[in-house]
Structure 1
Amino acid sequence: MKLKSLSLRTRIFIAMILLVLVASIIIALVAIYQYNEETKDYHKQRLQRKERAIQRHLGNVIKETSYPVLTEKIPLIFKDELNKIADIHSLQINLYDLEGTLLKSSKAILAQDTLHHCLRAEILNAVSNTADHRFVDKHEENGEAYLSSYTYITDRKFKPLAILNLPYLERDDFLARELNEFLTRLSFVYLFVLIMAIVISFWLSRYITKSLKAISDKINATRLEKRNEKIVIDDTSEEISTLVNSYNSMIDELEESAVKLATSEREQAWREMAKQVAHEIKNPLTPMRLTVQNFQRKFDPKDSTIISKVDEYSKTLIQQIDTMSSIASAFSTFAKMPAQQNETLNVVNIVKLALDIFNEEYIIFTRDAEEIIAKFDRTQLIRVVTNLVKNAIQAISKIDTPQIIVHVSELDNNVIITVTDNGSGVPEENKDKVFEPKFTTKSSGMGLGLAMVKNIVETYNGSISFESQKDKGTMFKVVFPKA
């Protein structure tokens, strides 16, 4: 699972838990390191304290001895005292001459003993050449770590007599127990902190993302065609408040732009409609003008056929007036929004009734069932079917074997009406303009039919679409809910 695919809330939650875990591990590692360093310092300091105390004891023995204070007399000087001093300090004591040969040891020397009888040259050089004449060697024997210090013991005049060697065993049992106890306590503290971190991170991530989710929901619900609500969130951070204010400002600007756009679109639509109406009205006015002028020029009261000529002229004028009236009616019908009269009706019967006004034999009506009940306005449904069929008739006017199939079905609580023709199809360049409220350039019809159908269907929460292929035909599909 990729981190990018996780929600912000989950990422905040995981990040805080990881932060606590990483911090806990680092603190534990630092604690262990600190304990180890303190252990090393403890052993070094303890060895130094032992060394100074033993040197004082050895110095006292040298001051009180009756033997000559010489290197070769060291075994005699410390014959009985060395073991006593070693017992007092619980530490083995070895004395070497200045050449590195073992003179005296508090440890019993056996044939197979691991005690070094001669010192290495590097130890002798380190003791003699360092400022404090001291050298500490760390080594392991039998799996145990030892610190061995080497330093001079001197006579009353501070002249080196011998080399004092103190092997010190680093026993970490007590410190190891302390460390284990500390880590155990620390583990309980970490467990408590982890539980608290889970609770706090869960609450904090929820608190942070709550405001973001509210903003996200509002943004997803934002639509240009409707009035959008502003975001109101109290007690938010400065960043969230800035985001909310920006969104609310955008909503104000969007609403203002939507109003301007809608106004512009309406004005443009009405201007275009006015042009088309003017154009359509001019078409019948021209023959009317010619008829009147011809009547004025040829009018003769004494003409025996004057009555028939007046009758002919009158019929021509009436025909053109009827054309203008149909133009005005079509425009008025389109401009008026259809009222929602939710009648419970059988869609199959209403569609069949709408088709009865057509006498064309090539119109075929099919249905999936004899009864499909829905709530719709009877008059508006007839108008939808009538306009779609009229549009199909115009599309097949030049086809030798025309055919129009009207089919009614239902699917998923929706009513589906399809009107299919085998005409020439809708040209590709006109597909985006099919439902625009424009007048057609055809001599018959106004071209407002499909725009009117779309208007009616969308009023009832439905939709209209079409599929068309060149020289194969077009199918218009109307879908609207039953209730």
Structure 2
Amino acid sequence: MKFSTQLILLVMVPIAVIMIVYPIAFSYIVTDKLIESSKQDAVALADFASEDLANFVYFLDIDVIDEHLKKWKETYPVDNIYVMSADGKILSDGTSKNPNYGEILDDPFIQNAIVSNEIVILHTDTHIRVSSPIVITEKIGIIQLDYSLSKVQPIIESSFLTMSIVLVIVTSISLIVAFLMSLSIRKPIKKLQHVTHEIAEDKLSSNIDITEPEELRQLSQDLEIMVSKLKKSRDNIIKSERLSSIGELAGRISHDLRNPLSVINNAIFIIQKHENENSSPTLKKYLPMIKNATEEMNYIIKDVLDFVRTRPPQITSTDLLELLKKSQENLKIPENIKIILPTKTLTIFCDPTQMLVVFQNLFSNAIDAMDVTQGSIIIDASEDNDNIVLQISDTGPGIPSESIDSIFDPLFTTKSSGTGLGLVSCKTIVEQHGGTIKAENLSSKGAKFTIILPKKITN
């Protein structure tokens, strides 16, 4: 089957269904709306009449009641209107003869109105029947009217006819448009087909260059975006593979560096132990610098090893408060910075060794961010359905807005001495626990890291 035929059928089948269903649905909706509007008008008239006639019914002023009913029958589409006493006896029907005066009509609707103290409504094919109690401190009468629907039916028929004509016109126009479209989009569709074939063969060319029609131009732009994302994903995979190789090499180098660093640290310890007032000023000047440099090297090595040591977590039941306290043991926390722990503990299921790395990294970053300023690190822990929510916030300057989307990328860092691996390790560990971690800047000041962990994790 040719594309033009397919396109015409594609347009015609839904239109055929719409032509059958829509007029019926439209007629039903219009009918419902008009009847509902008539019902509201009838209730409003009955409610108004019950208040307007209350005093006249109380004093049985039948002539005045007759005049009111006659006026309403002339003004509104009301076929029948009765004013009755509280026990249902006819007082007036709006005519001069009033043949049913004093009688109780054998009408189930009126019988229902007699025993009811509320407005009663009945919708029939031809009328909206409404009764309303007439009340002065208590029920003293009833007004009942039959509100005609005779004016509604022509509107419904006219609306149905108008809609049918519109649908016929739309169908004709749609056929013409479908035919013209089939002529105009064959070439760009073939071009798109060629491009998708090239993508399937891993030839990721993003230059599609389709200008018309507008829909296909937009589709070509979306396809270009998709190709661009595919290229980026492919580059990321290549980068990840290279990063993995670099990580293995860095891991071996870091491991080999630890031994000479340990020797240097031991030598510093021994020298400091024997240091006295007669020691060389040069020694006193440079020894702390050497010690700080080795500590920084150890920190970098730790980041690298945390990144390359990816092993499945060994899940155990862990006291969160104890784990947070333990996370501070190997950190140098300045006196001007306070770490505020949760007031109550929670039990979490995690690999305590791995989560220790996460907390130490986040604490260390917060301390570095606040530097010499007075500040606090606040940890909040709570339960949310099936999750444990940990929030670690600080009062530092926050994360630069241009960097916040990249802080979990490998090798990205905002610190001159950073490795760009600490937060990557945090993200990897949290995700291995089936959780998520995100960073945001607080509206007041500082940054906040939110870790969400499932309450139950199995190895």
Q: TM-score, normalised by structure 1?
A: 0.36
Q: TM-score, normalised by structure 2?
A: 0.38
Q: Which has the larger radius of gyration?
A: 1
